[in-house]
Structures are given as structure tokens and as C-alpha cells.
Chains A and B, each alone.
Chain A
Amino acid sequence: GAVVSQHPSWVICKSGTSVKIECRSLDFQATTMFWYRQFPKQSLMLMATSNEGSKATYEQGVEKDKFLINHASLTLSTLTVTSAHPEDSSFYICSARVGPAVAETQYFGPGTRLLVL
């Protein structure tokens, strides 16, 4: 149980285009999902917390107009990188929270590698 999928697994796009990444919880409902970004050989940095039915909460320094998050259902959150530039190239990983707030565990998706040319 607690499987999280992401689509696509990798994407190459031209500078200036927008890219949408999907995160799905396959066998459970997730009211809260998280979006992380990982640069090569570095750790994960939390970008935003996605809450079903409400606006996402962004971490300091993350542009909410550039990284649009939509959590329209209990099993799907999407991250749209708008007007992508080469510096947005990274590995984007989502996770979904399972369990009550105090005892929660996060299960991670396999990640989406974005390359902006």
C-alpha cells in the first residue's frame, strides 16, 4: 500500500513553455501532498504543501506564480512550471501524507526529471 505515482517520469521542453507534472496516490486518499525539488547531488528542498480543496502553501523563496499547484481531488495534485527556463531544470518529487498529523508518514513518488533547453 501507500503507492505514489508521478507522470511524466521525464520531460524535455523548450524555454518559455509550461510543463505540468502529475502526482497521484494510487491506493489511498491524500488530503495533503508535498512538492520537492532536488538538484544533482543535493538534498530535497520542500517547495510547497498542497492541500485538497484549498490553496497551496509555498516555502519562502518559491514563486507561487511560477510553480502553480492544484490539488483538485484526494488522489491528484499537479505542479505546473510556467514559462520554464533552463534554471528550472531539476528533479521534482512529490509525496503524500498518510496518517494523522502527529504520526504522519510521507510516501514519495518516483520523481520527474525536467530538462529545459
Chain B
Amino acid sequence: GEDVEQSLFLSVREGDSSVINCTYTDSSSTYLYWYKQEPGAGLQLLTYIFSNMDMKQDQRLTVLLNKKDKHLSLRIADTQTGDSAIYFCAERPLSGGYNKLIFGAGTRLAVHP
């Protein structure tokens, strides 16, 4: 089946690193994504990783993929108050004909001073 799970809430201190975790079920997923949603807004694509990669780094963002465990994580270095938002993990399973994105419920990141 298709299911993406995330923890619902994460609170970190400004300047610390944030790690948001996600597990997915469909091993056929070719791409996995991280999106950011600020209050009242649509989704902003943060980064994505191809399934044959273990890690991808983009400035403050590091994505780790453990394909064996179907586990994806997003690390935000030097977390800032502007990073406070909801972060969605999404998989794109082959069974969806490459069209369908399956989203997790989102992790609400709160950054405090």
C-alpha cells in the first residue's frame, strides 16, 4: 500500500539543527520530496532525492535516504525562526504512473529563541 508517515511536531532552539523524519512504504518510489508550507500558503519545493542516492546536500539542507528501511530524513542546519513551518515528505510511487504524489501528514517545526 501507499502510506507516508511523519512525526507531527518538532520544537528546536534557534541555531540548533533540526531533523525531520519520514517513513514510506512503496519501494518502487523513484523520487522522494520535501516540501515546506508556511501558514496560509501553498507548498514550496525544498529538495528532492532520487532513490538511487543515499544523501543530498543543498546549503543548509541535508537529505538522507535509507532505502532498505524506507526512511527519509531532512536535516536543517543552523535553524532559524524563518524555518518555522510545516514540512511535508512525499513519495512518488511507480504504481501511480509517475503522476501521483503521496504526502505525509506534515511535521510542524517550531523554532524558539
Contact = CB atoms under 8 A, between A and B. Distances in A.
A44 B30 contact: no
What's the dominant secondary structure at chain A's contact region? Answer: strand
Interface residues of A, number: 24
Contacts of B100: 46, 49
Contacts of B40: 111, 113
A46 B97 CA distance: 14
Given A43-B103, A43-B105, A44-B88, A101 B98 contact: yes
Contact of A43 (B31, B88, B97): B88
Contacts, number: 50
Interface string A27-45: 0000010100000001110
A105 B45 contact: yes
A32 B96 CA distance: 14
Interface string A91-110: 00101010001111111111
Residue among A6, A32, A104, A106 facing the most chain B CB atoms (10 A cut-off):
A106
Contacts of A104: 92, 98
Contacts of A44: 43, 88, 101, 103
13 contacts: A4-B42, A43-B88, A43-B105, A44-B43, A46-B101, A102-B98, A104-B98, A105-B31, A105-B33, A110-B41, A110-B42, A111-B42, A113-B40
Interface of A: 4, 6, 32, 34, 42-44, 46, 49, 93, 95, 97, 101-111, 113
Interface of B: 30-31, 33, 35, 40-45, 48, 88, 92, 97-101, 103-106
